[in-house]
């Protein structure tokens, strides 16, 4: 079973989130906020998770908010930086999966709060999750969305039956 991680600092670059995502085998995804601590520790935390499962799909992040730790993160793990259209797709897919009850999350107050206060913001002719005009830290939700997006792409690329010759 594959695993992927989503990572994101909060908007003030004080706290950082790393969410681990695994397929549940029934079309659902299991997510767990495995790191929610000072952002300076994020690269080492993500790197340790990545080292523990080197066959994982990698660490997925938005490069703009992650700029403060991006170079150090790249030294520790295989990092996939999402483009604006990917961030929009990740938010839309996560919202769809959540509505379809295909997201199962380990309890964590920061993640629960982010999901509760989630709002849309325009992005790339679609939307992403608002990071600024919300009363809480949205990094856990964005990290979760990026990890799910990354794992879904990894699963699709790994599915031999999906290849067309």
71-99 pLDDT tens trace: 999 999 999 999 999 999 999 999 999 99
Q: Rounded to an integer, what distance in angstroms lies between the CA atom of residue 11 and that of residue 39?
A: 11
pLDDT value for 164: 52
pLDDT value for 37: 97
Residue appearing with tokens 């994982």: 56
pLDDT exceeds cutoff 60 at 63: yes
Q: Minimal CA–CA distance to 141: which of 100, 108, 165? A: 108
Is residue 158 packed enough to be buried (19+ CB in 10 Å), middle (13-18) or exposed (0-12)?
A: exposed
Q: Minimal CA–CA distance to 134: which of 26, 46, 27, 10? A: 10
Q: Read off the DSSP letter of residue 7.
A: E
| Pure H helices in the chain | 42-52, 63-66, 70-76, 84-99, 109-116, 139-158
What is the arithmetic mean of pLDDT over 116-129?
82
Classify 3-153 by CATH class.
alpha beta
* pLDDT tens by residue, 5-59: 999 999 999 999 999 999 998 999 999 999 999 999 999 999 999 999 988 999 9
pLDDT value for 125: 74
**What is the residue extent of each domain of the chain?**
3-153
Predicted TM-score (pTM) of this structure: 0.91
Phi-psi label, residue 22: left if phi above 0, alpha if psi -120 to 50, beta otherwise: beta
């Amino acid at each position: 079973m594959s695993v992927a991680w989503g990572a994101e600092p909060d908007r003030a670059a004080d706290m950082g989130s790393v969410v681990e995502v695994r397929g549940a085998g029934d079309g659902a995804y299991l997510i767990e906020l495995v790191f929610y601590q000072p952002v300076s520790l994020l690269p080492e935390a993500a790197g340790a998770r990545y080292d523990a499962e080197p066959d994982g799909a990698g660490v997925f992040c938005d490069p703009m908010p992650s700029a403060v730790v991006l170079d150090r993160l790249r030294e520790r793990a295989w990092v996939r930086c999402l483009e604006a259209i990917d961030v929009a797709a990740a938010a839309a897919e996560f919202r769809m999966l959540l509505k379809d009850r295909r997201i199962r999350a380990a309890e964590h107050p920061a993640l629960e709060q982010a999901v509760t206060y989630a709002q849309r913001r325009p992005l790339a002719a679609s939307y992403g999750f608002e990071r600024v005009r919300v009363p809480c830290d949205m990094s856990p939700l964005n990290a979760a969305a990026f990890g799910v997006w990354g794992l879904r792409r990894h699963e699709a690329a790994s599915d031999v039956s999906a290849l067309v010759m």
